[in-house]
Amino acid sequence: MSHPPARPPRRADARHNADKILDAAVACLSRNADASVSEIAQSAGVGRVTLYGHFPSREVLVEAALQRVLAEGEKVLESLDLTGDPRHALSVLIRSSWLLIAQSSAVLEAAQTALPPERVQQLHLKPAQRVDELIHRGQATGAFRVDLPPDWLTSVLHHVMHGAANDVAAGRLDRTDAPVFITETILAAYAPTGR
Amino acid sequence: MSHPPARPPRRADARHNADKILDAAVACLSRNADASVSEIAQSAGVGRVTLYGHFPSREVLVEAALQRVLAEGEKVLESLDLTGDPRHALSVLIRSSWLLIAQSSAVLEAAQTALPPERVQQLHLKPAQRVDELIHRGQATGAFRVDLPPDWLTSVLHHVMHGAANDVAAGRLDRTDAPVFITETILAAYAPTGR
């Protein structure tokens, strides 16, 4: 090291760096599931040595990023009442957390190539259940169409939210329009077929 | 060069290599818009020197990959009659070319960071027009909803097709189910709102 630090790093600095690295990891992995450790370090404004001091491998870093984004989503989702009319519950879910869910599913995509499948499943089980349950309940009560499988309905929700997040990032879609457009689109796509 | 070739490369070999490289570029860039030249060379099974012999820069390679995938799409699309009922025309469009369009839009995403915006617009103008015109005609004739902007309807189509292509690649969705599910979902999402 040609430039030794002026003072030894304090615990608060270390925590701050770990936070910055995780924020950068979530942002980079959302954009590109194959983002490298160097890209993430650069985006966080820290050196690779500092990054590896906190997260000894890409696998550990991806898992921590996934845990972080899922925990943030959980904080929002657990405050929502999703027990009423499934169409209303779905609107509430989208409006309150579309961007967080879009980020989570992008980081999840990255985790699927970086972590063992059981680990990903285990981490993602609870958040995924909330959406799965809502879709199943909607199909069971006739609020949502049943001519398409529930897994596909879940996928469509994620594809549209993820695509909209990219549109917003690229300046093609207004951030305040996004949740309204997503909700209107998904409610129509999920509506029972009575043509 | 430590291993000179046993014989000078013939024109047919060169053409074959260029084809392999372009196929690999389309596949790699569809999966990851930031795919590097090394990744593409590796996936094509050629060395970087061979790749650079055909495509002197990443920019040239990305442009050639975009032209290839758009030309393939064009070949399919120009054979379709999209002048009838917009809902029927949209079904025909999706069933015949969802995978090609999904690949094109992924490579287009890559091109948007690698090429000058005017160049991308110029290359993409004609294929994009076909979908745009269909959506505008559907809105004008009352076949499609008008409470959401046409650009968003186009985006939704691309997001769902692109997501479905990833689902198929990851083994989460059957390749033969995909066009049926996409069509049913998009027709419902585009239907005029009469609630």
Domain boundaries, chain B: 65-190
Measured between beta carbons, which residues in chain A are less than 8 angstroms from residue B172?
151, 155
Confidence at residue A169, expressed as pLDDT on a 0 to 100 scale: 83
Chain A residue with the nearest C-alpha to that of B148: A181
Confidence at residue B95, expressed as pLDDT on a 0 to 100 scale: 92
Which CATH homologous superfamily contains domain B65-190? Tetracycline Repressor, domain 2 (1.10.357.10)
Which of B35, B177, B188 lies nearest to residue A189, judging by beta carbons?
A: B188
Given a cut of 50, the residues of chain B with pLDDT beneath it are 1-2, 4, 195
Confidence at residue B7, expressed as pLDDT on a 0 to 100 scale: 55
Q: Which two tokens stand for residue B52?
A: 């650079």
Q: Which two tokens stand for residue B22?
A: 């372009």
B36–A contact, CB cutoff 8 A: no
Measured between beta carbons, which residues in chain A are less than 8 angstroms from residue B112?
170
Confidence at residue A99, expressed as pLDDT on a 0 to 100 scale: 85
**The CATH number of domain A62-190, selected from 1.10.357.10, 3.40.640.10, 3.40.50.720, 1.10.260.40:** 1.10.357.10
Chain A residue with the nearest C-alpha to that of B193: A188
> pLDDT tens, position by position, for chain A (195 residues)?
445 455 555 667 777 899 999 999 999 998 888 889 999 999 999 999 999 999 999 999 999 999 999 888 888 888 888 889 999 999 999 998 888 888 888 888 888 888 888 888 888 777 788 889 999 999 999 999 999 999 999 999 999 998 998 888 888 899 999 999 999 999 999 999 874
Measured between beta carbons, which residues in chain A are less than 8 angstroms from residue B156?
160, 163, 185
A159–B contact, CB cutoff 8 A: yes
ipTM exceeding 0.85, yes/no = no
A33–B contact, CB cutoff 8 A: yes
Max CA distance (Å), chain A: 73
